[in-house]
Amino acid sequence: MADAAKQISYVDSDVPALVVFDRNGTEPPRGSWFDADSVVDAKAGAAAMGAQIVAVKGDEVMALANRVPKGRVFSSGKLFMPRIQKEVYEQLQGHLPEEDSKPQLELIASDEGKSEDGGASEGNASGLSLKGTLPSEWSKIGVGSLVLTRDIEEDDEAFYLAVVVGKAGSTSFRLKWRDYPDMDSITRDVCQLAMLHPKTTLSEIEWDWEE
């Protein structure tokens, strides 16, 4: 009996096994670590929100993991993701697998969308505009890509410009409408997207808003 008990291994809930982190435009980065028992649920939650993940391997990543809060997976599947230091966020990005280390979407804030300290107003997308880049081929679609998609929920046959802001699954993306940045993000499968010609001059498809 004693020998059998010695063979039982326990997972230390105080040891980071995975770090999940994300940054939404100009907002402060967020992140948390999860123990080995929570890895599967944490990965699922990260995929749903388009967040990035780094496995805790080696002293350097462990040191970074210890600088972010311990995470928690809610019953809804969402992750507890408090704010983390920008320096830690940037160093974690340096440990991403090569295919995941893509530049993040650039959000440009106008004066209207800024708070008194000069940053973008948290939780308020008003005054934010999205700048996307044109992918050269389907395999190049990723965060920051400018694509076309329908407003499917309204059964609209027209296509509108949208910018990829994250991954939502193995073949789906989270997007924001380029010309309506204050609206909620949408999710579309890659088969629901269309591409502009890579040599399109973006200045020719800018809207001239009338007051």
Instruction: Verify that 128 and 198 share a domain, yes or no.
Output: yes
In a domain, 4, yes or no: no
Among 65, 100, 135, where does a domain finish? Answer: 100
Predicted confidence at residue 25, as pLDDT, reads 67
- Tens of pLDDT along the chain (211 residues)? 444 444 444 445 689 999 999 887 678 899 999 999 999 999 998 888 888 899 999 999 999 999 999 999 998 888 999 999 999 999 998 888 765 444 444 444 433 333 333 333 333 333 445 677 888 888 888 888 899 998 875 566 788 899 998 888 778 888 998 888 888 888 888 888 999 887 777 766 665 444 4
Q: Is residue 91 one of the residues assigned to a domain?
A: yes
39 and 59 co-located in one domain: yes
Q: 37 in a domain, yes or no?
A: yes
Query: Would 78 be classed as within a structural domain?
Result: yes
What's 130's domain CATH number? 2.30.30
The DSSP annotation for the chain comes to -HHHHHT-----TTS--EEEEE--TTSPPEEEEE-GGGHHHHHHHHHHHT-EEEE--SHHHHHHHTTS-B--B-TTS-B---B--HHHHHHHHTTS-GGG-PPPPEEEE-GGGB-TTSSBPTT--TTEEEE-B--SSGGG--TTBEEEEE-GGGT--SEEEEEEEEE-SSSEEEEEETT-TTSPPEEEEGGGEE---TT--GGGG------
The number of domains in the chain is 2
pTM of the model: 0.47
Residues 29 and 94 in one domain: yes
- What range does the domain containing 37 cover? 9-100
